[in-house]
Every structure is written in C-alpha cells, then in structure tokens.
Amino acid sequence: MTLSDLDRLPSFALLGPGFGGDGWRLLDPLEPCGAAAARLAFAPFEAAGDRPFLFGAGRESVLSGAPDGDPWEGTPRLDPAGYREAVEVIRESIRAGDVYQVNLTVRAALPGATGPTILAALCRRWVPRFAAWVRLPDGTEFVSGSPERLFVTGGGRVFCEPMKGTAPAGEGDWLLASAKDRAELAMITDLVRNDLTPVCRPGTVEVPCARRLLDLPYAVQSVSDVVGDLLPGLSPLDVLAALHPGGSVVGAPKGAALQAIRRLEAVPRGPYCGALGVLEGDHADFALLIRTAVRGADGWWYGVGGGIVHDSDPAAEWEEVRVKAGALACGTPRSS
C-alpha cells in the first residue's frame, strides 16, 4: 500500500518502527479490539491526560518498507506578530517569580502540503524515532516525526526520558558545554520526578543519569533518565494522566506555565505537543508529539517552539523558530 492509497482511507494510524512493532504498522482505529490486542491512545495537548482518546487497533498490517512518495517542497510560512512581545511577557513573569520557564510555540503554515508529502518530507533522509501519520474518525489528523519519548512502562517499571537541548550531529561537546541547556534539562528532570512520584512506590523515583547525549541520525539531543516502580494496580493510562502534557513542552511550574501558554498562544496546540502511544497489556510506549504537523481548517501547519527562560533573547529565539521551521525536512538546528 502506498501513502496515496492510505490517503483514501477514512481513518487509520500508520506508526513507525519506534512504536514497538516490527517495522511500519497500519492500525485501524475503528476496528474493535480484544483485550489482548494492541490499543492506540492519543491525548491532544489540551486534553486532560486521564481522559485520552482510546482506539481499537484490531486489524493490524505491516508495511513492507518505509513510506515513499514525493516530499513536500514548500517554504513554511511564519507570522512574527506578537512573538517578541510574548517572550518579553514571559521574561517579566520569570523576574517576578511567577514562572520559571515557559515553552512557547507558534505555527508555521505549510502551503500546499498533504499528509503523504509531509510524512515523506519528515522521512526523506532518515526515519524519525517516533514517526506516525494518524487520521481519526473525529477528523483529527496529524503527521509526526518526533524524536522524544514521553514514557515507557513494562514489568511494573516506568521509564521517562525528558529531552532538552539540540545540536547538529557531531556537536555534542558544544551541547554539553551549554549552561543554559544544562539548566533547562535539570529543571524538566526535577519536574518529571515530581509528576512520576504520585504513581510510583515511595522512594523509588530516581535519576540514574542526569544528562546524556542521544545521538540521532541528524542531530544530537541531551536527555535525562527518570525511572520509578509503579504503584500496584496502576495502568499505563494512570502514568499518562500523571505526566500529560509532558513537562518539556510546557515549562515549570506546570500550572503557571500552562496559564501563560493559554494567554500567549493564539490557538490551541491540539495534537501538537500531545501524546501518542500503543498499549499492549502492561507494556506501553508513548511519544511526545513534537516535530508534528496538524491538518487545520486552513490547511496543514507545523508547530515550532522552544523553552523561554530569563536568558532568552527575543530576536535570537525568533531566529531559532525560523530555523526549526525551515528544518522540517532537511536537518535540525542547534537549540537556543
């Protein structure tokens, strides 16, 4: 089946190899599934994590190879209106003590793009860690090339890998030397520890590694490892409820950062920065939907953003947003 064939289906979930299958999997969200089958779970950014959309995924088929087709070749269109002001509002909130970090995002319009051409663009030079193209019965549709894992559970354990900091492949030393990236990751690591604690046995939430480099084919990212032993009787969906939306796309503290995001971002993020995962018994693997394009009423858009801290310079942050949007298909820039 080609991507164009897929585009004719009313609903489907095409998941890349990172979601735990043997290669690419095609799941049917409408098909009811038995208890033993894999289920798909999805929570848009604004949804409470304890009420994810759950989908059956009974009729599963495996694609023979990576999706092919012509990639989208346009220029992402960004509107700078209000961005600089939003960064300044956040910086003043930080100085006043009202918030510690806010992840601010904007939309880049992708004129003429379609699901198949965006997926082909995201997979042009490599298959991203959590590649997916999902079309749901309610009309929600998105394509993701996310490198970020929200969490994985299995055997009574939960493992999180919060990600902050990006550099071009081969520039890991630069990333390790960046005090700003170090601080942002430390903050999100403490936030994830906090969010995991209520669903874990006392004293079991630990940080086996506070900072390590994750080499991707096209970039290097810094991540930490946060682990814990789940309280008995909890399911992966309880973990999702505790973690969603992921700290690295919100900021800290979460409540104040979410308020700032609602106030400063013009439109809801929807699937962008949401969570998508596959549940199979007590095993679950969830991606955090960054590097994600969403089909809106006016066509496809791609979300880009970054953590705003007190050191952030509005002009430099905007340049970063421009570069990240431009890198949709051809590379990943250094983070600000």
Partner 1 sequence: MGTPPRVIFAENEDSFTWNVVECLPVPRDAVRLVRGRVLAADPAALEGFDVLVVGPGPTDPIRAGLVGLVEEAARRGLPTLGICLGHQALGLCFGARLVRVEPVHGRADPVSFGPSRWFPGQEGVHEAMRYHSLVLTDVPPPLRVVAATVDGLPMAVEHPDLPLAGLQFHPDSHGTPRGREVVRAFFDAVVGRGP
Residue of 59, 60, 126, 197 interacting with partner 1 (CB under 8 A):
197
183 touches partner 1 by CB under 8 A: yes
CB of 184 to partner 1, least distance (A): 6
DSSP of 45-57: TTS-TTS-EEE--
Cα 70 versus chain centre, distance? 24
Q: Which helix (H) or strand (E) holds 64?
A: none
Q: Is 164 one of the annotated active-site residues of the chain?
A: yes
Is 180 considered catalytic here?
A: no
Per the CB < 8 A criterion, the answer to whether 40 and 57 are in contact is yes
The yes or no reply on residue 6 touching partner 1 (CB under 8 A) is no
For residue 89, state whether it binds partner 1 (rule: CB under 8 A): no
- The closest of 60, 54, 25, 58 to 138, measured between CA atoms, is 54
* Residue from 148, 161, 184, 320 carrying the catalytic annotation: 148
In this structure, what DSSP letter does residue 230 have?
Answer: B
Tell me which residues in 296-335 interact with partner 1 (CB under 8 A): 309-310
Q: Is 176 in the site for partner 1 (CB under 8 A)?
A: no
CA 87, CA 103: separation in Å to the nearest integer?
10
Distance in Å, CB of 247 to partner 1, minimum: 7
Cis peptide before 32 (omega within 30 of 0): no
Distance CA 244, CA 175 (A): 27
Measured CA to CA, the distance from residue 234 to residue 282 in angstroms comes to: 9
State in angstroms the smallest separation of the CB of 197 from partner 1: 4
Segment near partner 1 (CB under 8 A); pick from 19-27, 91-99, 214-222, 324-332: 91-99
Nearer to partner 1, 215 or 311 (CB): 311
Q: Does 151 bind partner 1 (CB under 8 A)?
A: no
Q: Is residue 125 part of the contact set for partner 1 (CB under 8 A)?
A: no
> Using CB under 8 A, which residues numbered 10 to 69 contact partner 1?
none
Which region, judged by CB under 8 A, interacts with partner 1, from 34-42, 95-103, 292-300, 321-329? 95-103
Catalytic residue among 141, 161, 164, 317: 164
Beta strand residue intervals within the chain, DSSP E: 12-15, 25-27, 39-43, 53-55, 61-62, 77-78, 101-109, 130-135, 141-146, 149-154, 157-160, 163-168, 206-215, 219-229, 251-252, 275-280, 283-288, 292-296, 299-308
Separation between Cα atoms, residue 330 and residue 170, nearest integer Å: 16
Closest to partner 1 by CB, 70 or 92: 92
Q: Which residues are catalytic?
A: 148, 164
Which stretches of the chain bind partner 1, using CB under 8 A?
Answer: 94-101, 179, 182-187, 189-191, 193-195, 197-198, 202-203, 205, 207, 210, 247, 252-256, 309-310
